Each structure stands twice: as structure tokens, then as C-alpha cells.
Amino acid sequence: MHSLADSIESMEQLATVWRTVVLERKPDADVRDLPGVAVRWADCRFAFWNCVTLTEVGADAVLLKQRLHEAAEIMQEKEHPGFLWVFEDLVDEDARAVLDTAAGQAGLEHAFPGTGMAGDLLPIPEPFHPELTFVRVTSDEQLQAYADINSRAYGFALEDGRDGLAGSSTLWKERIHAYLGMRDDMPVTCAAVVEAEGRLFVLLVATDPQWERRGYGEAVTRKALYEGARATGLTRATLHATVAGAPVYPRIGFRPNSPLHFYTLKG
């Protein structure tokens, strides 16, 4: 059974990591910590870098409705679409019961669910997959391959993913431990970790859809964690899982905490 502290950690890790990646993508990005709302919005074509999240703990239904309207107003001011992240465990029981209805009233619609996860699982053994070799991302060409795998996996246009990652100078090639899983010299899967407040945060794990269900995503995630832990000495890791990834991470040692809800503006 997870604790409220785990769910708070999950939300704070999002706010910390997204501050870094958004400001690196766009130095004048909208990065604000308002009462109950954190804005991390690059306003680029890569929708994951356009993020608002609710940060209060124990918000009731009335306060939730207010924050949803405030978040929607922020999103409506932007050029490019993005997501509102809601950590279910941070609002009270009455607020959870009205979440989708209140979101709809604010002009938002549910996009997809997710789950926060964490674990004191490091170090882990050096990973091996008989069909893969692993390469750390250090060049523009490798970073574009990383972006393209994510675009294919999440259904984005290739240019959208490239707009989020291409052109990164030092963050993605030095501070972030980003790895490609290569099959016969072709990049087919990817994962990355970055240090955040004494933890390793896993981000942008993806596998090209034609190569799914072969254990590639788990293997490359293990590689990123292995190398990140070796470089930093950290023992705790956190992530936010999609439905597709949720069964994979417990095999590595992650434990679920707060259910996540992603909302977009109504079309």
C-alpha cells in the first residue's frame, strides 16, 4: 500500500524535472508556481512539454473545481496544446468523485490515464537482451532517433517529437542518461533517466510499435537506470507510467502510487 507521501513525491518530481526540460527547450517558457497550480509550458509542438499540474494536497470538490477552471484558462492562452496532469490521491474523496464532471465543466476532456511509480530499487544488475545493443545518446542524429521513436509510440507527428528534443545542447547529451536500444544497427526502443532531488526520474520510455512485446522497453529502461545509478550512486527512482508501460515497471522494482489523469482542452 502506498502512502500519501509517495503521491506527493510523484507530483513534486514532475514539477522538478519538467522545469528543467521545459526551460532547456525554451529559456523564456512559462514556468510558474501559482497557488495550487504548477505551470511548465514550453508552448512547443511536443505536447508533453506543455504541462500544467495541480499541486495542493487534500483539495475538496469546491477547490478542485476552481483549480480546474484556472488550469483551463492557462491552457486556453497558449498556442500549442498540452496536458493537465491530476494526481488523484492529492484530492479528497469527494473531489475524486466529481473529477471528470468538474473537468468537463471547465472545458477539459479526459485524454488518457497513468500511474505514478517509485521504488528503492537501485543498483540493479547490468541488463542484457539477446536482440539489442545499447547506445547512449550523444549526437543530434541519435537524439532525433530518440524523438522519432517517441512520436511513433505515442501517435505524434515526427516533427512534433523533433520540436521537443532536437537542438538540445547539453541536457539530453550530457546530464540526462538517454539510451537507444539498437536491433541490427536500427534504433527500436529508448529510455532516459535524470537526477532530480536525490532520485533518478525515468522519462520518455518508448518502443517503435512494430517492435513491441519483445521486452525491449524493459531492457532499455534497465540500461538507463543501471548507468544512471552507476554515475550518481542514487538508490531511489521514480516515473509516471502509461497504461502500456504499467505492467513492465513492477518487474524492475517500481511500486504504483497515485493514479494519474491527463486532460486536454475540449476540441
Please give the single-letter amino acid code of residue 207.
T
Please give the single-letter amino acid code of residue 34.
L
Q: Over 70: is that where the pLDDT of 150 sits? A: yes
Tell me whether residue 47 is in a domain.
yes
DSSP code of residue 251: G
- Same-domain status, 16 and 83: yes
Among residues 100, 166, 116, 112, which one has the least CA distance to residue 137? 166
Strand partners, 117: 239, 256
Q: What is the pLDDT of residue 1?
A: 65
Among residues 52, 40, 46, which one has the least CA distance to residue 16? 40
Q: What is the mean pLDDT of residues 18-38?
A: 96
* pTM, to two decimals: 0.95
Residue 163 phi, psi (nearest 5):
-65, -25
Tell me whether residue 13 is in a domain.
yes
Rounded alpha-carbon distances, angstroms, from residue 97 to 65, 68, 220, 243: 12, 14, 38, 21
Rounded alpha-carbon distances, angstroms, from residue 254 to 13, 138, 166, 195: 15, 28, 30, 17
Please give the single-letter amino acid code of residue 79.
E
Q: What is the pLDDT of residue 133?
A: 98
- Same-domain status, 100 and 154: no
Q: Is the dihedral of CA 68, 114, 190, 149 positive or negative?
A: negative
d(CA 157, CA 143): 16
Q: Over 80: is that where the pLDDT of 29 sits? A: yes
- Same-domain status, 71 and 26: yes
Domain of 58 in residue numbering reads as 4-117+260-265
Q: What is the mean pLDDT of residues 137-156?
A: 95
CA angle 177/165/22 to nearest 5° reads 90
Q: What is the pLDDT of residue 77?
A: 97
Q: Over 90: is that where the pLDDT of 170 sits? A: no
State what percent of residues in the chain have pLDDT above 90. 94
Please enumerate in sequence order all residues whose Cβ is within 8 A of that of 150, keeping only pairs 6 or more positions apart, or say none. 156, 161, 165, 190, 204, 206
The CATH number assigned to the domain holding 154 equals 3.40.630.30
Residue 149 phi, psi (nearest 5):
-60, -45
The secondary element (H helix, E strand) that includes residue 15 is helix 4-25
Q: What is the mean pLDDT of residues 128-143?
A: 96
Tell me whether residue 128 is in a domain.
no
- Three cell numbers written together for 94: 469527494
pLDDT of 186-236, one tens digit each? 999 999 999 999 999 999 999 999 999 999 999 999 999 999 999 999 999
Q: Over 70: is that where the pLDDT of 252 sits? A: yes
- Same-domain status, 36 and 96: yes
Q: What is the pLDDT of residue 3?
A: 87
- Same-domain status, 180 and 208: yes
- Same-domain status, 103 and 176: no
- Same-domain status, 25 and 61: yes
- Same-domain status, 142 and 217: yes
Total count of residues recorded for the chain: 267
Banded pLDDT at 84 (limits 50, 70, 90):
very high
Q: Count CB atoms within 10 A of the CB of residue 106.
A: 23
Rounded to the nearest integer, the mean pLDDT of the chain is: 96
Q: How many domains does the chain have?
A: 2
Q: Over 90: is that where the pLDDT of 24 sits? A: yes
d(CA 37, CA 207): 32
